[in-house]
Amino acid sequence: MQQQYYNFCAGPAALPTTVLQRAQDELLNWQGRGVSVMEMSHRHPAFMELAETAEINLRRLLNIPNHYKVLFLQGGATTQFAVLPMNLLADLASADYLDTGIWSAKAIAAMAPFGQARLAANFAGKNQVPSKTQLQLDPQAAYVHYCPNETISGLAFDYVPDTGSVPLVADMSSVLLSTPLEVNRFGLIYAGAQKNIGPAGLTLVIVREDLLGRARPETPGPLNYTLQAAQNSMLNTPPTLAWYLAAMVFEWLLEQGGLSTIAEQNQLKARLLYEQIDSSTLYINTIKPTCRSMMNVTFTLDNPDLEILFLAQAEAAGILSLKGHRAVGGMRASIYNAVPVAAVKTLIEFMADFERRH
């Protein structure tokens, strides 16, 4: 019997098996055209149709209003950290940033050459996010930036900050498409694809139209929101293979019943896992319960000497990539959309069994 595997990688992460199977089936001959989808011009009518359908499906999934543009870019969220002020700061002096951990801190650091990254909340290293009343927002800020889900620590906002007329910008790399979203609460949303969207190498940007037109001239064309919006993200050759895979993920999400259904499953997976942790004396998660991530469940072992053994035995049981980020150590189970409930149940059983044995 072939061993079953359960992939909890934080990213590049698990993709839906049916999507990979379809990609495999048609890898050398897409739509009966005699070539791979990755061997075709992005301006071929068939690929243009794929791209257009992908956007339509993404808009349907997230209920994206018409006055938002959807961009399919390259470079990952880390590139956006600098590209964001290039595109949005204009002649303003500062933007507000909420510091809640490693990813938001990276975004703050990347802002330095462009203007002031004013800390509207400094919660670095804390096990909770700022409450609504703890946000010290500057009404003159170019935008307010935050990271709704800190993938490394497993910390998440349980609310969308109200920033009034200042555009709210969110690095949603690890949560976009995991749950329904009120897009109109945001000025701009961006996300690297390699969690819930597709393979690494694609970056989604959803931007309100009135924020276009203010990019600095130094902005590289393919990273200029305004130019890419005008060219349907084809100012230059886009990452067609990644786009194609993301398009199939969007279809898969619609087939699953859309984001409400997916969110229910994600909530169930997270609840099961946190319950296992909380009912144990071996596993520890110190994040404030209301701020626990639904996507990245982190935990340490009461006896740290057991962590290497835990990881090794998990891997031997086919439970992969539980090692925490190298910046913080410990364990992390990333339970993105494509991780089935059954995988989480297997992990829980393993955790219970491991605890009994140690």
Instruction: Pick out residues in 10-29 that bind its own copies (CB under 8 A).
Output: 10-15, 17, 20-21, 23-24, 27-28
Taking the complex as a whole, the smallest distance from the CB of residue 75 to its own copies amounts, in Å, to: 5
Figure out which of the listed residues 54, 108, 242, 291 binds its own copies, where binding follows CB under 8 A. 242
d(CA 323, CA 344): 16
Figure out which of the listed residues 1, 3, 281, 316 binds its own copies, where binding follows CB under 8 A. 3
Figure out which of the listed residues 66, 91, 133, 218 binds its own copies, where binding follows CB under 8 A. 218
Return the DSSP state at 160.
Answer: -
- Whether 171 is catalytic: yes
Q: Give bridge partners of residue 323 from the DSSP assignment.
A: 331
User: Cβ atoms within 10 A of the Cβ of 318, count?
Assistant: 14
Among 152, 174, 149, 151, smallest CA distance to 160 is for 149
Catalytic position from the list 30, 69, 96, 103: 103
Q: Is the backbone peptide bond immediately before 304 cis, with ω within 30 degrees of 0?
A: no
Figure out which of the listed residues 81, 190, 225, 283 binds its own copies, where binding follows CB under 8 A. 81
214 binds its own copies (CB under 8 A): no
237 binds its own copies (CB under 8 A): yes
- Whether 106 is catalytic: no
Taking the complex as a whole, the smallest distance from the CB of residue 130 to its own copies amounts, in Å, to: 26
Instruction: Pick out residues in 180-209 that bind its own copies (CB under 8 A).
Output: 192, 194, 199-202
d(CA 348, CA 42): 44
Return the DSSP state at 219.
Answer: S
- Whether 195 is catalytic: yes
Size of the site for its own copies (CB under 8 A): 70
Figure out which of the listed residues 54, 71, 82, 88 binds its own copies, where binding follows CB under 8 A. 82
Taking the complex as a whole, the smallest distance from the CB of residue 132 to its own copies amounts, in Å, to: 31
CA dihedral 283→288→293→297, nearest 10 degrees, is: -10
d(CA 267, CA 270): 5
CA-based torsion, 89, 92, 94, 95: positive or negative: negative
* Residue 270 · residue 332 · CB < 8 Å: no
Catalytic position from the list 171, 252, 269, 323: 171
Figure out which of the listed residues 101, 148, 222, 330 binds its own copies, where binding follows CB under 8 A. 222
Task: Identify the residue whose tokens are 């035995």.
Answer: 313
Quick note: the x/- pattern for its own copies over 299-328, rule CB under 8 A, is -------------------x-xx----x--
Record the tokens describing residue 309, joined without a space: 């053994």
Record the tokens describing residue 116, joined without a space: 């002031």
Q: How would DSSP label each residue in 113-140?
A: TTSEEEEEEE-TT-SSPPPGGG----TT
Quick note: the x/- pattern for its own copies over 86-125, rule CB under 8 A, is x-----------------------x-xxx-----------
Measured from the CB atom, the residue of 145 and 163 that comes closer to its own copies is 145
d(CA 280, CA 296): 19
Catalytic position from the list 195, 243, 252, 323: 195
Q: Which residues are catalytic?
A: 103, 171, 195
Which residues of the shown chain bind its own copies in the complex (CB under 8 A)? 3-5, 7, 9-15, 17, 20-21, 23-24, 27-28, 33-36, 38-44, 74-79, 81-83, 86, 110, 112-114, 192, 194, 199-202, 216-223, 235-242, 245, 318, 320-321, 326
